[in-house]
Chain A
Amino acid sequence: MGNGGFLSELVISRNDLFYGFYITVLVSLISIVVGTILGVLVGVVLTYGNLPARFLARFYTDVIRGIPSLVLILTFFYVLSVIGINLNALQAGIYSLCIFCSAHVAEMLRGGLQNVHVGQTEAAKALGFSFRQTFTFILMPQALRQVLPTWINTAIETLKGSSLVSIIGVQELILSTQQIIARNFLTMQFYALAGLLYFIACFSIERFGKYLEKKVAIK
């Protein structure tokens, strides 16, 4: 068994680690971007839609937020293939994380939009703004600024959730790590290393969020 030192094993397995980390970042990035766009749409419907649309959006967000992300991923992976949608594990993982992210973004945006003071809408109306103008120029900028910290949290949760797609066999950081460990038995060291890589990714998002918050804050 190749049970050499940690450093030599690290050199041997660097490509696997890089690839795993790359897939983790890729899956998270797509899920966060698509999930946010989808979530903003659902969030707007949740706040301003007519009754049936609002009911549907509410049902969607509440059900998705009530299901653990692992169960969501497994459900997508198993169920979609049975109903004739053939996805590989990577696609199923990305789709389920997008849905997960969108439900959280929707709920967060609804809170943000409803927290903008009524006076703002009234002032816009008094100035003759249409609803679309009010929404784009008055409500959205204020709501987005307000939900920024929560959105950063959701992004971090999505990145952390991406670790769960290893369970359906996506070759991301955790699965790569497990394969490396199966080869060299340096269990503790390589799990700690994977943890460190996740930490770096999440911590960067957190720092970036803090920077963004400062940048968009109203002085």
Chain B
Amino acid sequence: MDYVLNFDVIWRNLDRLAYGLEIDLYLAIVSIFMGSLIGLVTAFALLSKHRTYRVIANIYVTIIRNVPLLIIVLFVYFGLPDVGLTFGQFESFIFSLTIYAGAYLSQVFRGGILAIPKGVSEAGMALGMSNLQINVFVILPIMFKSVLPAMSNNYISLFKDASIAAVLAVPELTYQTRKINTDTFRVIEAWTAGCLIYVATCYLIALILRQFERRLAIPK
């Protein structure tokens, strides 16, 4: 084995890696934001009094959670053009990750809503609030605080899932790492750097979200 480590390549390509990370974060943040909205609506649908809403939401969540993200991405990018729906790589990946995120986050939100004691919404009713008002002004704020830890975990794994965009040749971190690998043949250096950036970023996201949790925690 005559492999001499030479990390110069990484320093020279640092801007590429940084750009890749930026794209990953962009993909993740946009998808997480829209996914959270879908997840929220789905969570209320899952707990709705109307059977139709419950059934539709259940089908959506069950299907998406039991199919790999890669299949969804490939289906959206390569399959949907068959019926005239053509999107760019970015749009179709964000669309796929949003749908995927929505299904996962709906479960988190559902758990949070169920954990709220019934007396809280009854208190809202006693004050003459409408159903919508109770949900928006009473249930939502309490639910958000209680689901923050579970939500953080999901956010981090969705950020990691953004790496799958490399399959569509979106120039994100995994794609850049692989490119450095094939361009320079500095295999060990490239993948060490790639892995390190992912681990560090996940750690940072966890740290920031924990700070957030602490600040918003319900005082005991």
Residues of A within 8 A of B (CB): 62-63, 65-72, 74-75, 78-79, 82-84, 156, 160-161, 163-164, 166-167, 174, 178, 181, 187-188, 191-192, 194-195, 198-199, 202-203, 206
Which residues from B are CB-within-8-Å of A83?
A: 1, 3, 188
Shortest distance between the CB of A211 and any CB in chain B (Å): 16
Shortest distance between the CB of A57 and any CB in chain B (Å): 16
Interface of B is mostly: helix
Most B C-beta atoms less than 10 A away, residue of A75, A84, A198: A75
Which residues from A are CB-within-8-Å of B3?
A: 82-83
Q: How far is the CA of A160 from the CA of B67 in the complex (A)?
A: 7
User: Once the chains bind, are A71 and B174 in contact (CB under 8 Å)?
Assistant: yes
A83-B188, A167-B167 are known contacts. Are A68 and B198 too (CB-CB below 8 A)? yes
- B139-174 residues with Cβ-Cβ distance < 8 A to A are 160-164, 166-167, 174
Which residues from B are CB-within-8-Å of A75?
A: 191, 194-195
Q: Which range holds the interface residue count of chain B?
A: 35 or more
Which residues from B are CB-within-8-Å of A69?
A: 160
Which residues from B are CB-within-8-Å of A195?
A: 67, 71-72, 75
Let me know if B54 is at the binding interface, CB within 8 A. Answer: no
Q: How far is the CA of A198 from the CA of B50 in the complex (A)?
A: 30
Partner of B79, one of A68, A161, A191: A191
Let me know if B17 is at the binding interface, CB within 8 A. Answer: no
User: Once the chains bind, are B194 and A82 in contact (CB under 8 Å)?
Assistant: no
User: Once the chains bind, are B75 and A79 in contact (CB under 8 Å)?
Assistant: no
Which residues from B are CB-within-8-Å of A199?
A: 63, 66-67
A71-B177, A82-B187 are known contacts. Are A163 and B195 too (CB-CB below 8 A)? no
Which residues from B are CB-within-8-Å of A65?
A: 202
User: Once the chains bind, are B163 and A70 in contact (CB under 8 Å)?
Assistant: yes
Most A C-beta atoms less than 10 A away, residue of B70, B83, B194, B203: B70
Shortest distance between the CB of B201 and any CB in chain A (Å): 8
Let me know if B82 is at the binding interface, CB within 8 A. Answer: yes
Which residues from A are CB-within-8-Å of B62?
A: 203
Which residues from A are CB-within-8-Å of B83?
A: 188
